[in-house]
Structure formats: C-alpha cells, structure tokens
Structure 1
Amino acid sequence: MNTPTGALPERLRATLRADIQGMHAYAVQPSAGLIKLDAMENPFALPSELQAELGQRLGAVAIHRYPGARIDDLKAALAQHIHLPAGCALMLGNGSDELISLLAMACDLPGAKILAPLPGFVMYEMSAKLQGLGFVGVPLTADFELDGAAMLAAIRMHRPALTYLAYPNNPTANLFDDAVIDQLVDAVGEQGGLVVFDEAYQPFASRSRLAQAGQAGQRDHVLVMRTLSKFGLAGIRLGYLVGPAALIAELDKVRPPYNVSVLNAEAALFALEHADEYARQAALLRAERERLLVTLAALPGVQRAWRSEANMILIRVADAASTFAGMKQRGVLIKNVSALHPLLANCLRLTVGTPEENACMIEALAAAAA
C-alpha cells in the first residue's frame, strides 16, 4: 500500500527526474477483511502436509550464503517442466515485472520505442517511461481483438524495439487471433525488433506460443515470458523468460546478480516437484470460471461478460464505480478497470476464486448492480 509522505522538499526536486515526479506509482488496493478477488491470485493454499514439508525445506536453506548452484537447479527444473524448446534458454526474474524492466534496459538505444495493444498490462508502458523510452499504444477493437491493420501500420512507422503481446491479455482475458499474430511477428522481425509473448495466465489458457520461441531463422526474435504467480506462487515473485539461447545470453547481462533469493528458489523447486497439486488447482479454477460465465450471462445488471482464457473475467455493468463500491461494502474486493482505457468504460475485472468465494462474489454483484 502506498503511504502518503507529504510533499517533496523543493530543494530535492531538481535531483529527481521531472517525468517520474509526474507519474503515479503502481497502486495495490488495501484488502484487509475483504474477500480478495482483485489480483488474479490462486486462492488455494497448499494442503497442510505439504505446508509442513515446505517449512522444513525452507528452514534448511543456507540463507547466510548468496544464491548459488540452487538457481541452476531451478532453471533446469523449469526447463523440464515446460519442455524447453531445443536451442532455447531461460532467464529468471524477480517476478515478470523485473523482466519487463530489464528488457527495456537492454533495448535502451536512442529513439527506441516499446509497442503494445491497449488496454493491456500497465507495466509495459511504465517500464518504457521509467527507462526513458517512447511508448506506442495501439487500441484493440471494440471486442478486444487485435486491430491488425493498425498494429502493422504502427510497427512500420515506429519500428519498435519491443512489441508486447499478452497471451491471454490483461484485463480482457482473451487470446488474440493467431493468424493476425503471425503477421505481426513477421512484421516486427523485418524491422529488427523483438516480440515478447506475455503468458502470465498460461495455466488457464487453451493455447501457448512457447514453441514459436524455439523457431530458428526468421522467428529468432521471439521471446515468451511467464510467471509462477498464476501457477500459485504469487508471493515468491518469480518470473522467467524463454528465447533463443544466443538472445537470452545477451539479455541476461543486464540482470542483477543474485536477483532471485534462495528462499524463493527453494519454494519454486518444491512447487515444481508437486506440480500435480497445482495442476489440480488450475483445473478447479478453470471449471469455476466456466460456471461463473454461465451465471454472469444470466445475471440482471451484467450487460456483458466476455469469454476468458485466464483466471479472471471482464464484465460490463451500467455503473462500474457504484457497483465496485457496493461490492466492497458487502465484503468483496474486485478491480474497477473502467478508468484504464475508453474501451473499458464501466468494466469490472473479477478474479476466479474458490467456489465459496465465487458464491459471495455473485451475491454481492447481484445486489450492487441491481
């Protein structure tokens, strides 16, 4: 939570970049005492026996030492878990947020730009601004599909160093059309830029672009970024970037040493050893998502609920601000995304929770949107 600290003393203003002083920090909503369905977290804790086993593992970690070979063990386990394509390598980040920042740093040449569809994940634009790069946002269509013609025109005009394609997208939760994506990937390649597929919600999606990261030749500019946050480990902050080994080797040079802690690495290794439990949880959430979509389609006050390939559902109501406030008053915290982009007017983003949480959410929504 951001804590007010008063105005910055005038004598210090000249020391800090003016553009940063004019920016807003990433906001995290206070959630104490509320059913927390605003951040696409996995709502399931580990079974008690696995919690005890994890506690023993973490207690034995050498926290008096810097991270060492155990990080390599984690990279090897991740490579096996995702069936790393031949010729590819992995780079680890302190969450995918750090990877997004490092990509901007690595591509920070004079005049370089980052391009992404809008609405999309806010960190793409924020990373560009923090690094002093230009950002080009290309609006999606009214149905949140890629505007292929507009994207191609923007790629040819701006020649972006980085083009982000979230797959599925946040906050719209949809997978973009693969035929359009292929055109964009080729267009970016012709301009000498990189394409980053952000697959943060991969455990809930029906398709992936991971195999494309391993294609040689014309597609050797494609990267795939994932996180263990939606896998069920949001608290440990671990992301990873997959791409051609030669490209990853260059990008890895901007990564801070020891950016992943030994505790995070050990927790991630433990989770991968018990991937079947997390797969079971993901299956439950996918089933709950489908049940919610049916319920939302028949709920008075919900004008539209978009199909989802993630663990969130985007809906439109008559008055997003009033509905959000009414649900919060009834103990349920969701995300009001209506101010993020004109296409999201009166839209709310609902995280898929446990069956009990979802029942409370629907009850609160029905009362608040009536």
Structure 2
Amino acid sequence: MNAMNTPNPLRFIRQDIQSMHAYAIQESAGMVKLDAMENPFSLSPELQQKLGERLGAVAINRYPGGRIDELKQALARYVDLPEGCGLMLGNGSDELISLLAMACDVPGASVLSPMPGFVMYAMGAQLQGLAFHGVPLTADFELDEAAMLAAMREHQPAITYIAYPNNPTANLWDAGVIRRLIAEAATFGGLVVMDEAYQPFSSRSWLDEIRANPVANANVLLMRTLSKFGLAGVRLGYMLGPQTLVHEVDKLRPPYNVSVLNAECALFALEHADVFAQQAAQIREQRAVLIDALGRMPGVTPFPSDANMVLARVPDAQRCFDGLKARGILVKNVSKMHPSLANCLRLTVGTPAETALLISALQQTL
C-alpha cells in the first residue's frame, strides 16, 4: 500500500479536539513568577529534610493503598466534615471537574457557569461532549442574578459551577444570590458545585452554609485544592458533599489516581498546617499592600480580592505586561479572555520582596 492511499492516523481523533488549543503555560525561568496564583513560600530547610526522609521511606514499589484512606480521614478532620457528607480525592481539582462532566453525561445535559471564570469548567464540558453555557457577570464582576436564573430555567444544567471566590476576578459573590441559584437548581435536580480553590485567603466559606442548612444544600458539592494551600506541585484536590452524591462520582475515579508521593506530601502538609496558615496570613497582608499601592497609581483600578491574586485594570494591558516582563516579572494578561476583562492584568500576590518589586516595576512601566 503506498503512502498516498494510507488513511490519516488522525482520522479517529475528534475534529473539535484537533481545532482546540492546548492549555498554555508561560516560560518562567529566571522570572519573578506572579502569573499562576502559587504560594510563593518554599519549605524551610528543616521541613525539606523531614519531608525528604518521609518520601524516601514510601513504598513506591506498591500501588497506593491504606495511606490514601488516612489522607481522606486527615482532610475530613481538617475541614471538620459535616455529618452525612462524604469526601473524595482528585489529581488536582481539574480531575474532579472532568469526573463530574463524565458522571453527568446524560442526553441533553449541559454545564453552566458565570463568565469570566475558570477555563476548565468549559473545557471539562467540551471534552465530554456536553454543551457549556457561560453567563456574563455584571460590569463590576457581580453575579447577574436575573440572567443566571433565566439561563438555568432555559437549559436546566446538570452542573452549575460557582467559584467562591472567583478566578480571575478574585471576588466573593453575594451569598443571598447564591442561595437562590442553589434553590433554582434543586427544582430540576441540578447540581451546584462550589469551587473554593482560594479558600485559604477568603473571608468566607460555603462549608459554613452547608453545616447551617444541609437540607438547602442537598444538591451542592464543594471542591477544594491543596494547590493554593501551598502544594500546587503536588496535584491534590478534594470534593465533599452529601454521601450519596460523592459515592456516585467516586465510582468514576481511576483506582490509583493519587500517587503515594502526593498523598505523603499532603499528609505532611496537614501535620504542619500552622506553617501554611502563617504563610496564608502573610499573603493576605501583602494583598492589602498591593491593592493599596495599585489604588494610588494613575489610571489603575484594582478590584476587591478574597484570593491570592488581584485583578487590576490598567491603561494598556499588553504594554504593561511587556514592560513588567522586560523587568523580569511575569504576570497574567487576561485582557483577551472576556470582553469585560478589557485591559486587565491578574497579579499573583507574592512575598513581601516580590510585592515591592512588582509595585516598583509597575510604577516604572506606567
């Protein structure tokens, strides 16, 4: 058979996949890295040594076993898991988002989320062949309650994602509005997934709502991650909610989705939760410093933040991004992500030294 007649080996790869762009990660070698909402603090040499000893003793010749259950129990204690709730682990929140789309892939099912929001909600739906409906936020990045309710009534989405606080806008939305959206989803059996990726920096958690009113939150799942806790490299997310719901999604999880090394790192971090809590407190302090400095810069508008990032509108996002990059500072230019983000940059909150460098570089750039 000659090459001319050989069928294209891409023949069975879906056309929509072939026309997609892969998730882009910026080259950051030698830069002050403030583009990905990572915790900027590394472990102390003492803790590095202790963790190294722990990881060295892990039975990497065996599949993950009982240690994973110990991690689940440790997380359940850490969050004070409400009665009647279950907890499952994911390889980061990204895997949980994929599993949820897979679990809800019934004919006509769709996913709905406010926009701009976390890109993986739409991607998770698309990869599973589900329709995705994005509902624009208001001009000041609040939930548009009327538009959300109208879209929910029209599409009856299987999953409505509500990030609390939101990425990239970093704000917490009105709890009263969220309660009404959850109640609306309940009328047609839709799930609401509260994504609390930035919980360590937030002034509120929906877990308190779940505890106070479990009946009103019977269709709610809560996702968190250890990425913002300080372990972005460990890839560990977890989801909790009514035991019956979590049990169904957990069936889809690959049996060994969390490696023994990831689990051991996470257990180690939970044992030293006070260290990470101090880091989060420092980040919250630096967030206030950054917002204050941005507010004093001509032509710059910082938006309120309950996360470890600050969204700021600048006179010219591309020029500002390039100017910062030329000065060795990498941030995220989100200005093309959504019309409402025109001329916006997303700045990760770093260490005190990094914050000072960012402020100085921004002043020079502007």
What TM-score results when the alignment is normalised by the length of structure 2?
0.97
Say which SS state the counterpart of residue 186 (structure 1) adopts. helix
For residues 9-88 of structure 1, the aligned pairs below 5 Å read 11-88=8-85
Residues 162-183 of structure 1: per-residue CA shift (max 9 Å, x gap): 0000000000000000111111
| Number of the residue aligned with 2:221 | 223
Contact 1:41 1:229 in 2 (8 A): yes
1:193-272 to structure 2, matched below 5 A, reads 193-213=190-210, 215-272=213-270
Residue aligned with 2:208, SS: helix
How far 1:10 sits from its partner (Å)?
Answer: 7.6
Counterpart in the other structure of 1:284: 282
Letter paired with 1:32? A
* Corresponding residue pairs, total: 360
Paired residue for 2:135? 138
Q: Provide structure 1 residue ranges, at least 5 long, that are not aligned to the other structure.
A: 1-8
Matches within 5 A, 1:293-312: 293-302=291-300, 304-312=301-309
2:322 to 320, 325, 331: 325
Deviation per CA, 1:158-206, whole angstroms, max 9, x where unpaired? 0000000000000000000011111100000111110000000000000
State the partner residue of 2:350: 353
Structure 1: distance between partners of 2:302 and 2:7? 48
The letter of the residue matching 1:183 is R
Residue aligned with 1:169, SS: coil
What is the distance in 2 between the residues matched to 1:268 and 1:284?
21
Residue 102 of structure 2 is aligned to residue 108 of structure 1: no
Bigger shift: residues 196-205 or 359-368: 359-368
Distance in 1 between residues matched to 2:187 and 2:355, nearest whole Å: 46
- Aligned residue type for 2:64: P
The CA deviation string for residues 108-141 of structure 1, in whole angstroms up to 9 with x for no partner, is 0111100000000000000000000000000000
Q: Would you identify which runs of 4 or more consecutive aligned residues in structure 1 move more than 2 Å?
A: 211-219
Q: Residue in 1 aligned with 2:3?
A: none
Name the SS for the 1:226 alignment partner.
strand
Q: Secondary structure at the match of 2:8?
A: helix
Q: What residue number does 1:335 align with? A: 332
CA distance in 2, matches of 1:175, 1:28: 26
* Alpha-carbon distance in 1 for matches of 2:108, 2:210: 26
Aligned-pair distance for 1:301?
A: 4.1
User: CA distance change for structure 1 residues 164 and 24 in 2, over 3 Å: closer, same or farther?
Assistant: same
Secondary structure of the 2:21 match is coil
Q: Deviations over 1:23-66 (max 9, x none)?
A: 11111111011000000000001111111000000000000000
Query: Residue 163 of structure 1 is aligned with which of 139, 144, 160?
Result: 160
> For the residues of structure 1 that align with 2:291 and 2:341, how far apart are their CA atoms?
18
Secondary structure in structure 2 of the residue aligned to 1:254: coil
1:196 maps to a residue whose letter is: V
Instruction: Report Cα offsets for 1:321-355 as digits up to 9, x if no partner.
Output: 11101100110000000010000000000000001
| 1:219 match: secondary structure | coil
CA contact (8 A) 1:213 1:244 kept: no
Superposed displacement of residue 219, structure 1? 2.4
User: Match of 1:241, as an amino acid?
Assistant: M
TM-score (norm 1): 0.96
CA RMSD of aligned residues (A): 1.1
**Offset of 1:147 from its aligned partner?**
0.2
Give yes or no for contact 1:114–1:133 (8 Å, CA) kept in 2: yes
Structure 2 portions without partners, runs of 5+: 1-5
* Separation in structure 1 between the aligned mates of residue 286 and residue 25 of structure 2, nearest angstrom: 25
Q: Percent identity?
A: 65
CA distance in 2 between counterparts of 1:288 and 1:361 reads 11
Q: 2: distance between equivalents of 1:238 and 1:10?
A: 41
